[in-house]
Every structure is written in structure tokens, then in C-alpha cells.
């Protein structure tokens, strides 16, 4: 996913001489291609992420499109005041790329677990929040973020993610991307858990039940209309996200469905508890521990959707 992001970034930089990239001493073996092609527009600010965001905002005030790159926690939670006051308040044309969403850096412990970032950034005004599910979505969302003025946060995985789409999917800004049809339940997932949702739906199909699966690449803006329509169609909506449920995808779905009257879907959350999680587990082991893998999602579907 990081490779797809950088490839899209380089293509955009070739067409836009005002596109800059800043890194907080991160991205070795990833960002060198950009640095070689556009050395005058590449800057390593060092381990100073708060300063990086402020420098980016300053460059944006001079007409530049500025991308910042660091690990999820270091570029969001450490910099929340700068993102709020320097970027969002001024609607600066800054695109914040966070790598290692969820438990991608699992074995490095809670300091590197990116599980509160979506909730924190979704609370800020005037910023798009984008979470690609695979390299194809990463290319699409990178282009979308760069070509639209204003703040954006792009949450990336780490490396080695496989494609769930055969090609770049058609998209509408703020829209859901259907990836599997079904009638008995709907799984709305974001980021890396879209693949797990698809695997869970395949397992469920072996029992004669069919779950639709949607990728939600935009948490801001959020497709409330699609969720409301789905809540009137499906008996159950399972929401899967590699982050805390307070303020993220589950909260957004819950607000929509909770505000509806009459018969509507039951909403089930598959998310990370708001506590420090398994400290040294791999990403996949953490998913299994928290019931976020295909088996865990299947168990939630089976228990929540009676035959």
C-alpha cells in the first residue's frame, strides 16, 4: 500500500511543480524515488513531527500542495494541536499520510499501535479522512486527496497488502465501494479489515447465508444516505474497523441508524476496545485476539443474524 501511495504521489508531482513531500525521518526504502526525482521539493524535518505539520502549513500558505509522512500515531496524536490550529483552522492544503494503521506495527507495542487516530481526526472540522483497503484504493484516494484543495488525512497500512479489487474501483468522494453482493446481512469495513470481511462472508456463504460487503474508504465525508438506505434493507449491519469504536466508523454508522425511526437494522460493532491492547502480538494475532479476523467476524454474524 505504501508503494502504491508513493507511485501515485510521484505521478502527481511530475504534473504539479508545487507538490512537496515532508517526512519525519521515516520512509527509508519507500520515499527515495520521490527524493531522487524531486530533491528540491523533498524535506526530512527529522524526528520533529509537530514542527513538520507547522512547516507544511506554512508552505501551503504560499500556494504549495504539501504531503507529510510518518507513522500514524506520530503524525496524528503527537501533532493534534498543530493539525487543528495550523492546518484545519486555515484550511491549508496539507495532506497528512499516516503509515502503519491499526496493529500494523503490532510487535512494537502500544506506542506504535494506530488505533485512536481515526476518532481523533474525525473530531476535527474541515478535514477529509481517507482509509484505503488495498493498493488500488490507495492510488485512487491519493490522487483524490492531492487534487482536491484543503486538509486531508490518509491512513495507510504498512506493506505487503494484497489487492481486493481487480483494478482501480469506480468511486465518488465520500461514497462506499460495494465489493460483494448479499441479502442476509451487510458488513461495512474499512482499511485492512475489508479483506477479513470478504473472507468472513465467504465462510458464511458455505452455511447458505449471504453477506454483502462494502469498503468504506471515506470516513469524512461520510455516506450517511447509503447507510440509512442499507439500514432499511438489511436486518443486520456489522461494522468492522481496526480502531476504537468511539468516534470512528462504528460511531458514524451508529449515529445514522440510531437517528432513524421505525424498523431498521441491528448494528454490531467489531472494533478495538478503548484500552491498551496486546503489546507484542503481530497484526494478525491481534485481530484474532480481538475477534477482528474472518473467524471473529463470522462468529458475530452467526450469533446476530438468526436463520
Q: In whole angstroms, what separates CA 256 from the centre of its chain?
A: 20
How far is residue 34's CA from residue 13's CA, in Å, rounded to a whole number? 9
Give the CA distances from residue 102 to residues 24, 133, 305, in Å, rounded to whole numbers and listed in that order: 19, 12, 27
C-alpha to C-alpha distance for 54 and 48, rounded to whole angstroms: 10
**Cβ neighbourhood burial of 276 (10 Å; 0-12, 13-18, 19+):** exposed
User: Which domains does the chain carry?
Assistant: 2-155 (3.40.50.970), 177-304 (3.40.50.920)
State the pLDDT at residue 278. Answer: 66
pLDDT digits (tens, 9 = 90+) for 15-29: 999 999 999 998 888
Question: Can you tell me the mean pLDDT for 85-103?
Answer: 97
Angstrom CA distances, 6 to 2, 97, 291, stand at 6, 11, 32
Q: Across all residues in the chain, what is the average pLDDT?
A: 95
> What sign does the dihedral 162-156-199-222 (CA atoms) show?
negative
Dump pLDDT digits (tens) for 172-225: 899 999 999 999 999 999 999 999 999 999 999 999 999 999 999 999 999 999
Tell me the sheet residues that pair with 68: 22, 96
Q: At what angle do helices 224-231 and 249-258 cross, to 10 degrees?
A: 60
Within 24-176, strands assigned E span 42-44, 65-71, 94-99, 128-130, 152-155
Confidence (pTM): 0.96
Cell of 283: 497484526
Q: What is the pLDDT of residue 307?
A: 66
Determine which helix (DSSP H) or strand (DSSP E) holds 286, and give its type and residue range.
helix 283-290
- For residue 139, cis peptide bond before it (omega within 30 degrees of 0): no
pLDDT at position 251, please? 95
* β-sheet bridge partners, residue 128: 152
Contact yes or no for 73/276 (Cβ under 8 A): no
Q: Answer for the pair 49, 78: CB distance below 8 angstroms, yes or no.
A: yes
What would the grid cell of residue 77 be? Answer: 496524536
State the DSSP string of 50-96: HHHHHHHHHHHHTT-EEEEEEEHHHHHTTTHHHIIIIIITTT--EEE
Rounded distance, CA 24 to CA 35, Å?
Answer: 14
Confidence tier at 161 by pLDDT (50, 70, 90): confident
Say if residues 48 and 24 touch (Cβ distance below 8 Å). yes
Amino acid at each position: 500500500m505504501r508503494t502504491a501511495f508513493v507511485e501515485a504521489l510521484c505521478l502527481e508531482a511530475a504534473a504539479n511543480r508545487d507538490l512537496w513531500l515532508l517526512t519525519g525521518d521515516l520512509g527509508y526504502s519507500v520515499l527515495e524515488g520521490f527524493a531522487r526525482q524531486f530533491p528540491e521539493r523533498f524535506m526530512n524535518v527529522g524526528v520533529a513531527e509537530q514542527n513538520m505539520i507547522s512547516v507544511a502549513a506554512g508552505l501551503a500558505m504560499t500556494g504549495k500542495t504539501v504531503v507529510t509522512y510518518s507513522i500514524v500515531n506520530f503524525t496524528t496524536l503527537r501533532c493534534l494541536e498543530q493539525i487543528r490550529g495550523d492546518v484545519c483552522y486555515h484550511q491549508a492544503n496539507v495532506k497528512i499520510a499516516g503509515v502503519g494503521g491499526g496493529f500494523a506495527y503490532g510487535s512494537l507495542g502500544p506506542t506504535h499501535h494506530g488505533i485512536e487516530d481515526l476518532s481523533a481526526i474525525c473530531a476535527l472540522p474541515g478535514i477529509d479522512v481517507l482509509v484505503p483497503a488495498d493498493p488500488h484504493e490507495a492510488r485512487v484516494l491519493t490522487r483524490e486527496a492531492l487534487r482536491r484543495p484543503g486538509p486531508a488525512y490518509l491512513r495507510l497500512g504498512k506493506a505487503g497488502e494484497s489487492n481486493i479489487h481487480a483494478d482501480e474501483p469506480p468511486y465518488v468522494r465520500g461514497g462506499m465501494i460495494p465489493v460483494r453482493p448479499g441479502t442476509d446481512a451487510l458488513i461495512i469495513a474499512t482499511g485492512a479489515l475489508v479483506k477479513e470481511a470478504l473472507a468472513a462472508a465467504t465462510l458464511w456463504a458455505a452455511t447458505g447465508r449471504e453477506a454483502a460487503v462494502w469498503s468504506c474508504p471515506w470516513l469524512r465525508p461520510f455516506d450517511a444516505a447509503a447507510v440509512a438506505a442499507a439500514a432499511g434493507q438489511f436486518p443486520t449491519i456489522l461494522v468492522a474497523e481496526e480502531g476504537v469504536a468511539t468516534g470512528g466508523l462504528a460511531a458514524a454508522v451508529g449515529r445514522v441508524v440510531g437517528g432513524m425511526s421505525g424498523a431498521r437494522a441491528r448494528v454490531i460493532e467489531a472494533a478495538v476496545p478503548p484500552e491498551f491492547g496486546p503489546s507484542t502480538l503481530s497484526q494478525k494475532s491481534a485481530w484474532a485476539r480481538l475477534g477482528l479476523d474472518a473467524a471473529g467476524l463470522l462468529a458475530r454474524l452467526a450469533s446476530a443474524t438468526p436463520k
